[in-house]
Amino acid sequence: MYSLSEAARLIDVPSRQLNRWLFGYHYQKSQGDTRSRSWSPPLWTPALSTQEFDEKVIGFHDLLEVRFVHAFVQYGVPLLVVRKCLESAQQIWGVKYPFTTLKFKTDGRTIFGEAIRQAGMDEALVDLRNRQHVFREIISPSLYAGIEYHQDQASRWYPLLKREGIVLDPSRQFGSPIVEAAGTPTDILHASYMAEGGNEEAIKATAAIYDIQPRLVRSAVRFEESLRQRVH
């Protein structure tokens, strides 16, 4: 379970974008001399109902799937094409989160090409039609790196190299980043590190307090400090 600000930090996507993509937004539409207020629906309904919480929250699979949406949009793919691609893949494979699946990595190229054809927008899509490598450029191995699967569905995510020992696992600590070997949240380890002085001695002190290896404390500190450099 992640608030939009937490999710923005973890996947480096602005919280405003997350809000628009996953909860929809209103926009002004012009027709001649008149303007009307229109609604753009969410790309999909997040796993967690907003009625149960005090703020907008999303789930683990929402978090990973929106990384792929962001990759498409960053590359310049119109959101209409992303939406059509998503909807087609959902229908074909019968899954809610198709971009994250291994099927999409291997077989999504055709669905993506069809989504471009269906969109039939304007010159904005010409480059995408002519550049055959576009799918490979967007759906790169780095997007799937660190994701572990169970029956083609993402089950956990290692945001750093796996040997660093940091994991997001929806079955542990509500999916917050933890040191896998100990189950201790990385933000708690970082807070202890800072309270102990924020130096090498603090690494050793925190490792002793939580009974974990100093190298894992270092991994947690590096991870948390990399997140703190992201401003959303």
Average pLDDT over residues 187-212: 96
Predicted local confidence at residue 164, as pLDDT: 92
CA proximity to 217, closest of 190, 181, 177: 190
Read off the pLDDT of residues 126-180 as tens digits, 9 standing for 90 and up: 455 554 577 888 888 899 999 999 988 899 999 998 999 999 999 999 999 999 9
Q: Are 57 and 50 in contact (CB under 8 A)?
A: yes
In this predicted model, what pLDDT tens digit does every residue of 58-84 receive, in sequence order? Answer: 999 999 999 999 999 998 888 999 999
Q: What is the pLDDT of residue 50?
A: 65
Q: What is the pLDDT of residues 81-120, one digit of tens each?
A: 999 999 999 999 999 999 999 999 989 988 988 888 787 7
- 172 phi and psi angles, rounded to 5 deg: -135, 130
Prediction pTM value:
0.88
pLDDT digits (tens, 9 = 90+) for 19-73: 999 999 888 777 666 777 788 899 999 988 666 778 899 999 999 999 999 999 9
Tell me the three-class secondary structure of the chain, residue by residue. CEEHHHHHHHHCCCHHHHHHHHHCEEEEEEECCEEEEEEECCCCCCCCCHHHCCCCEECHHHHHHHHHHHHHHHHCCCHHHHHHHHHHHHHHHCCCCCCCCHHHHHHHHHHHHHHHHHHCCCHHHHHHHHCCCHHHHHCCHHHHCCEEEECCEEEEECCCCHHHCEEECCCCHHHCCEECCCCEEHHHHHHHHHHCCCCHHHHHHHHHHHCCCHHHHHHHHHHHHHHHCCCC
Token representation of residue 7: 């999710």
Q: Tens digits of per-residue pLDDT, 185-198?
A: 999 999 999 999 99
- Alpha carbon 60 to chain centroid distance? 9
Minimal CA–CA distance to 118: which of 95, 87, 151? Answer: 87
